[in-house]
Amino acid sequence: MPELPDVNASESSRHEELAMAGFRLDPTHEGPQFYTLLAVGGDNERPLTADGRIIFFVRPTLVHKALAMDESLAQLGTPPRDVETMCDVAQTLYLVNSQEEDPDGVVLDCLLIFDDLVRATQISMPERYQGMLTELAARLTEGQSLEKIFTSESLRQHVEDALLWCVGAVTMKARILTS
């Protein structure tokens, strides 16, 4: 899901900083199950990576160990202590699968984070999935409801397939720190 650069942005508004992202896959789990750091605010928003893998960690207390593995992100300063953005995959799949509204913007948040993560994997997303998710993100950004976007059950299923493809691609290129 390529993003167009903001031609009106000044250099001072392109200051990169670190943001902690939380992830939830299990719908029975409350809160994030794992985390990563993202470089945000610049021209190249990206997650923590080392040796071609996205670095995730299971507790916020591991943030310093994870950050030390990515020299380019480590240069951005002290990591945040709290989750600033959430990629609730479980809730996103539920909303896409069966709901008419997403008042909290859960789906869009997940799509934006997946955009950064999938680009970091360097795995080519099938054009059909990329186009579908890009269009979904654009419509959600415009404020359209899921009811207006999903005109058929098969469209919901195709979007769900695209999201699951993203989960698989990221998983295959992940390293998870547990201690």
Amino acid 15: pLDDT: 87
The CA distance from 18 to 13, in Å, is 15
Judged against a pLDDT cut of 60, whether residue 4 lies above it is answered with: no
**Token reading at 66:** 């994870």
Residue 101: give the domain boundaries.
Answer: 11-177
Question: 14-67: per-residue pLDDT in tens?
Answer: 689 999 999 999 999 999 999 999 999 988 899 999 999 999 999 999 999 999
The CA distance from 65 to 157, in Å, is 39
Question: 94-119: per-residue pLDDT in tens?
Answer: 999 999 999 999 999 999 999 999 99
Residue 80 inside a domain? The answer is: yes
Indicate the helix (H) or strand (E) that contains 140. helix 127-141
Main-chain dihedrals φ then ψ at residue 139, nearest 5 degrees? -65, -40
Question: 121-157: per-residue pLDDT in tens?
Answer: 999 999 999 999 999 999 999 999 999 999 999 999 9
Residue 5 inside a domain? The answer is: no
Amino acid 76: pLDDT: 94
Residue 1 inside a domain? The answer is: no
Amino acid 12: pLDDT: 40
The CA distance from 117 to 121, in Å, is 6
* pTM given for the model: 0.88
* Structural domain count of the chain: 1
CB contact at 8 A, 67 and 59:
no
Judged against a pLDDT cut of 70, whether residue 6 lies above it is answered with: no
The CA distance from 131 to 68, in Å, is 35
CB contact at 8 A, 163 and 169:
no
Amino acid 1: pLDDT: 52
